[in-house]
Structure 1
Amino acid sequence: MLRPPTGGAGHGTAPTGDRLVSIGMVLNRLRDEFPEVTISKIRFLESEGLVEPRRTPSGYRKFGPEDIERLTQVLRMQRDHYLPLKVIREHLDAVARGDRLPLPAQGSEGAQRDLLASTWDAEPELPTAPTIGRAELLAATDAGESELDEWEAYGLIAPMADGGYDSETVTVAKIVAELGRFGLEPRHLRAVKAAADREAGLVEQVVAPLRRHRNPQTRAHAEAATKELAALSVRLHAALVQTALGVRLT
């Protein structure tokens, strides 16, 4: 569901005579500093209430200088401070009211956690240790040796080089175990794994140019962009599944 925009200066129908430009022209102006930005990204920021362009009678977006400046500030705060959109929106709205809010330090661990939390529903806390052993994984999932062997045989989980399992693998194993209690076996989950691999490949296509970019800040932004895209992909997948089930249940 789209958020009702709270930021930006544009409201209502675009009047004639204003210095308004199309979303394509906005993209061209932003790309010198933000080569990774896309029209979809600008539309997403609008849906999250970060900017509110005017609309022509036929429904086309029109952006004024203040909208472009606001978008520039949003993208800089994402790139330089790894801030979640909620924090950015609150900060810019406070500035518009005449208030001043301090920004977290650039690249702070807390800010990066908030970035992920802003686009991903809260999950149970993962183990703090880098890896756990096989016996610990079996205990955490209440699974047997044969079950763990089957999960690995179908490629649902895999040990690391040292034979341990990282926190993401533990999460996957717990979910697979829960699904198993509903009668879903690893062979049933092959399609889910294949879909996840395809989604990961799509994210890699998007962030690969960022990692190769000559600007160090853009390269540093690649990891934050990867997390945000992954989170959005998870949200989309969940929404599509819920929508499909809703259609079938009606």
Structure 2
Amino acid sequence: MPAATAARAAGASPLLSIGQVLARLNPEFPDLTPSKLRFLEERQLITPSRTESGYRKFSAADVERLRLVLSMQRDYFLPLKVIRGYLAELDAGREPVLPGGVTVTAPSMLPSERRLSREELIREAGANAMLLQDAISASLIVPADHYGEDSLAVLRSLVELQRSGIEPRHLRGFRAAAERELGLIESALIPIARRKDASSRAKAQELAREIAGQLEVVRSSLIRSALGRL
């Protein structure tokens, strides 16, 4: 029995409306909307219960399942069919592994996005001010008053790369490559983007993630192939 169904059957906690779910999750996932919730339900990622009047109601387990889905989209750029398969494995009591050997654990109830000052970012990454400035100059990190987990992960990687003699200036082409990939994604979204309804926006966001995930698969394969020739 899926976790959400089991929790509803146990009646462990009050059920929530769509508005209450959005209030809980929007601080962590600002792009979550009622239309996106309905879209995820249509794709069988979540299965909220219904009142006799047809209103959706979400259990605490539904909210955690939704948080897991949204985290996997945001952090791993996974297409929904991969996430759906992953959830099916979880529901069956197994411990699935994502492509690339990644194991995902359910996110905490607390928002995971942190806000780091410049000094905190440098300290936690084990970097120095010069390396951060070089990363900003190479357009690898966007300058800001506060930095998130993505910037921390990039700066940590740059610390390790620097030990191998690879400096931020050697990676200037990465930003240009990312912009080219963004252009490809935007071109693919044009037919959907022309429609202005909320459902189309949700579909466009999901398609963008799917395309980004597939581009990552191609990029990783090319790198592995090239490494095999060394």
Alignment TM-score, normalising by the size of structure 2: 0.55
Larger Cα Rg: Structure 1 or Structure 2? Answer: 1
User: Mind listing any 5+ residue stretches in structure 1 that lack a counterpart?
Assistant: 1-77, 89-103
User: CA-to-partner distance for each residue in 1:77-132, whole Å, 9 max, x for gaps?
Assistant: x9443759xx79xxxxxxxxxxxxxxx78x93333334545376438999923421
Aligned length: 152
Give 1:29-178 correspondences, 5 Å limit.
79-81=39-41, 108-115=66-73, 116-117=77-78, 118=82, 121=100, 122=102, 128-160=112-144, 163-178=145-160
User: CA-to-partner distance for each residue in 1:168-218, whole Å, 9 max, x for gaps?
Assistant: 222222222221121101121112232122112211222244233144312
User: CA-to-partner distance for each residue in 1:37-72, whole Å, 9 max, x for gaps?
Assistant: xxxxxxxxxxxxxxxxxxxxxxxxxxxxxxxxxxxx
**TM-align CA RMSD:** 3.5
User: Mind listing any 5+ residue stretches in structure 2 that lack a counterpart?
Assistant: 1-37, 47-61, 83-97
User: CA-to-partner distance for each residue in 1:137-171, whole Å, 9 max, x for gaps?
Assistant: 111211111111111111110123xx111222222
CA distance in 1, matches of 2:68, 2:114: 19
- For residue 173 of structure 2, what is the aligned residue in structure 1? 191
Answer yes or no: is the 8 Å Cα contact 1:137–1:165 preserved in 2.
Answer: yes
User: Percent of aligned positions with the same letter in both sequences?
Assistant: 28
The one-letter code of the counterpart of 2:171 is L
CA distance in 1, matches of 2:178, 2:202: 25
Answer yes or no: is the 8 Å Cα contact 1:132–1:164 preserved in 2.
Answer: yes
Answer yes or no: is the 8 Å Cα contact 1:157–1:169 preserved in 2.
Answer: yes
Alignment TM-score, normalising by the size of structure 1: 0.51
Higher relative contact order, chain-length normalized (CA < 8 Å, sep 6+): 2
